[in-house]
A and B are shown apart, each in its own frame.
Chain A
Amino acid sequence: MTDLLTKLRAGELLLGDGAWGTMLMARGLKPGACPENLNLTRPEALREIAALYLEAGAEIITTNTFGGSSLKLADYSLGDRTEEINSRAVEVLRPVIGDRALISGSVGPCGKLLLPYGDTAPEAISDSFVRQIGALIGAGADMICVETMIDLSEAQLAIKAARSFSTEIPILATMTFDATPNGFFTIMGTSIEKAAAGLEEAGADIVGSNCGNGIKKMVEIAREFRRCSRLPIAIQSNAGLPENRAGEVVYPETPAFMAEAAGQLIDLGVAVIGGCCGTGPDHIRALRGLIDAHRGGSIGG
């Protein structure tokens, strides 16, 4: 594990995992139920998913804590169980993962909007992240992954919350961008240039993008991050935008399609490649094949 941490810190290429939501649904998570509650009620389901990603070749496994901030858990009246839900998320995975992969504490948006355009004070959002991240780090998370952020100020509050516990722990921070005629922006109006600078300033070690509209757009996003930042870049793409085909939800991008396009991410020097919504162990296995071929190629050549 120290080996993987060293690599992460050095900006060497590491493979992340894929989506958790869909995997949890396949194991009985009901629509509208709180995904993070399964950390308390269904630890075996989490171990099973982690094992699948591990076996597919992932070197970073994310915790099931995307909505684990106390403000977000309060949507399900679980705010007072924030510490338990987040620490269990790390603890249940450790026996499966050991030091074969890094456990990355996932931190998603709190679901509230900041003043003045929203109704929530920065202190409340900060406290909510402090409670979540304190529990994740306390339980032994190897790194923190602030992800799917659309508001740079909220992302910075999360990063600073993590930094308040440890100056050492690697922090990966990603935002979600839409393509507009004037370039990429989050829906709140943050450009990639502003994101790269703002995330670094708050204390992130690795910056980039996740979710989004598919791998092709992610290549463009990675190029723009490369242009704007000297930090290692993380890209965790979803498998395209989901389509409703006769009542069934389908993510259009196949493992082969993603792996093919992801070659360009490697060429751009992206340090962490992984999947988001709609990706599963097969996508990660395909990316593993790509990365191994690339490593083999660079050793040979």
Chain B
Amino acid sequence: MDILQEIGASLRKGDDNRVAELTRQAIDAGMGVGAILDDGLIGGMNVVGDLFRRHEIFLPEVLLAARAMQKGIDLLKPLMIEEGIPAVGKVVIGTAQGDLHDIGKNLVGIMLKGAGIEVIDLGNDVSAERFVDTAVEAGAPVIGISALLTTTMSSMKGVVDLLRERGLNGKIRTIIGGAPVSKDFADEIGADAYGYDAANAVDQVKALLGVA
């Protein structure tokens, strides 16, 4: 097994120390940051996401894998800065107003960071104003909202509406996700994209940033 595959395998086991050790080895062996991310950490996390969707593993394994991935990313961060790899883009994320479910949003955040995207995480229960104001202040062209409750789904429309009200639609784009959310719902409220899981969220955000 090559070192990048081994990173993936250790990630699946949630062995954060081993992931860190292997990432360090890969760096020392002169492997590129991009390869370590794509073929090691992100590749591994995609497998974890698939297994979770197929109910072959459960949330604890996913959370441990995510934490291991974060450790790997932490080691790569300074290199990315050093090598002058610019952030691919900026995204503001948070959960919909009234929603305290943040596990899915956190996974999406880690995967976005893994893809070299700068993430401004506003946490839980974020109002439409805060989403929009932060995106404007930070110059972030994408807002990502996660909702797990049927009751808070509707508050995502508030963000889309507020952007329109301020004439920012088209300039700042929205992606939404979470278990009860669907592509149809995204279309209905006028959100620009829908991500069905964390890996898909990365693809969708990249498309919105025009870097896919």
Task: Identify the A interface with B (CB < 8 A).
Answer: 31-32, 75, 111, 113, 116-118, 150, 178, 180-182, 185-189, 241-244, 247, 249
Do B100 and A117 have beta carbons less than 8 Å apart? Answer: no
Do B150 and A249 have beta carbons less than 8 Å apart? Answer: yes
Do A75 and B100 have beta carbons less than 8 Å apart? Answer: yes
Do B98 and A117 have beta carbons less than 8 Å apart? Answer: no
**Interface 1/0s, chain B 103-126, versus A by CB < 8 A?**
100000000000000000000110
Tell me the smallest distance from the CB of B82 to a CB of chain A, in Å: 30
The answer to whether A187 and B151 touch (CB under 8 A), given A31-B97, A244-B180, A244-B185, is no
Query: Taking the complex as formed, is B191 at the interface, i.e. its CB lies under 8 A from any CB of chain A?
Result: no
- Nearest A residue to B67 via CB reads A117
Q: Which of B52-60, B72-80, B84-92 is near enough to bind chain A?
A: B52-60
Do B154 and A189 have beta carbons less than 8 Å apart? Answer: no
The answer to whether A188 and B58 touch (CB under 8 A), given A32-B125, A118-B63, is yes
Measured between beta carbons, the chain B residues less than 8 angstroms from A111 are 100
Q: Which of B67, B155, B180 makes the CB contact (< 8 A) with A31?
A: B155
8 Å CB interface, B118-159 against A: 124-125, 150-155
For the complex of A and B, 5 pairs with smallest distance between CB atoms:
A189-B58, A180-B55, A32-B98, A242-B150, A117-B60
Tell me the smallest distance from the CB of B63 to a CB of chain A, in Å: 4
Query: Taking the complex as formed, is B64 at the interface, i.e. its CB lies under 8 A from any CB of chain A?
Result: yes
Tell me the smallest distance from the CB of B18 to a CB of chain A, in Å: 14
Task: Identify the B interface with A (CB < 8 A).
Answer: 14, 54-55, 57-61, 63-64, 67, 97-98, 100, 103, 124-125, 150-155, 180, 185
Measured between beta carbons, the chain B residues less than 8 angstroms from A244 are 150, 153-154, 180, 185
The answer to whether A188 and B153 touch (CB under 8 A), given A31-B97, A32-B125, A244-B180, is no
Q: How far is the CA of A22 from the CA of B164 in the complex (A)?
A: 31
Q: How far is the CA of A111 from the CA of B57 in the complex (A)?
A: 21
Tell me the smallest distance from the CB of B17 to a CB of chain A, in Å: 12
Do B63 and A31 have beta carbons less than 8 Å apart? Answer: no
- Nearest A residue to B52 via CB reads A187
9 contacts across the A-B interface (CB closer than 8 A): A32-B125, A117-B14, A117-B59, A150-B59, A182-B55, A186-B58, A187-B59, A188-B58, A188-B60
Tell me the smallest distance from the CB of A156 to a CB of chain B, in Å: 15
Do B60 and A247 have beta carbons less than 8 Å apart? Answer: no
Measured between beta carbons, the chain B residues less than 8 angstroms from A243 are 150
Measured between beta carbons, the chain B residues less than 8 angstroms from A150 are 59
Q: How far is the CA of A132 from the CA of B121 in the complex (A)?
A: 31
Tell me the smallest distance from the CB of B65 to a CB of chain A, in Å: 10
Measured between beta carbons, the chain B residues less than 8 angstroms from A186 are 58
Measured between beta carbons, the chain A residues less than 8 angstroms from B57 are 189
Q: How far is the CA of A76 from the CA of B125 in the complex (A)?
A: 11
Q: Which of A31, A75, A182 makes the CB contact (< 8 A) with B151?
A: A31
- Nearest B residue to A189 via CB reads B58
- Nearest B residue to A111 via CB reads B100
Do B98 and A181 have beta carbons less than 8 Å apart? Answer: no
Q: How far is the CA of A247 from the CA of B150 in the complex (A)?
A: 9
- Nearest B residue to A185 via CB reads B58
Q: With A117-B60, A189-B61 given, name 8 new contacts (CB 8 A).
A: A31-B151, A32-B125, A150-B59, A180-B55, A182-B55, A185-B55, A186-B58, A241-B180
Q: How far is the CA of A181 from the CA of B58 in the complex (A)?
A: 13
Q: How far is the CA of A83 from the CA of B176 in the complex (A)?
A: 38
- Nearest A residue to B64 via CB reads A117
Q: How far is the CA of A159 from the CA of B58 in the complex (A)?
A: 23
Do A117 and B63 have beta carbons less than 8 Å apart? Answer: yes
Do A188 and B59 have beta carbons less than 8 Å apart? Answer: yes
- Nearest A residue to B151 via CB reads A249
- Nearest B residue to A249 via CB reads B150
Measured between beta carbons, the chain A residues less than 8 angstroms from B155 are 31
Do A116 and B100 have beta carbons less than 8 Å apart? Answer: no
Q: How far is the CA of A254 from the CA of B124 in the complex (A)?
A: 33
Q: How far is the CA of A31 from the CA of B61 in the complex (A)?
A: 32
Measured between beta carbons, the chain A residues less than 8 angstroms from B103 are 113
Tell me the smallest distance from the CB of A46 to a CB of chain B, in Å: 21
Q: How far is the CA of A176 from the CA of B100 in the complex (A)?
A: 18
- Nearest A residue to B54 via CB reads A181
Measured between beta carbons, the chain A residues less than 8 angstroms from B14 are 117
Measured between beta carbons, the chain B residues less than 8 angstroms from A178 are 55
Q: How far is the CA of A189 from the CA of B58 in the complex (A)?
A: 5
Q: How far is the CA of A153 from the CA of B92 in the complex (A)?
A: 34
Q: How far is the CA of A249 from the CA of B58 in the complex (A)?
A: 29
Q: How far is the CA of A242 from the CA of B181 in the complex (A)?
A: 12
Q: Which of A116, A182, A187 makes the CB contact (< 8 A) with B64?
A: A116
Tell me the smallest distance from the CB of B130 to a CB of chain A, in Å: 12
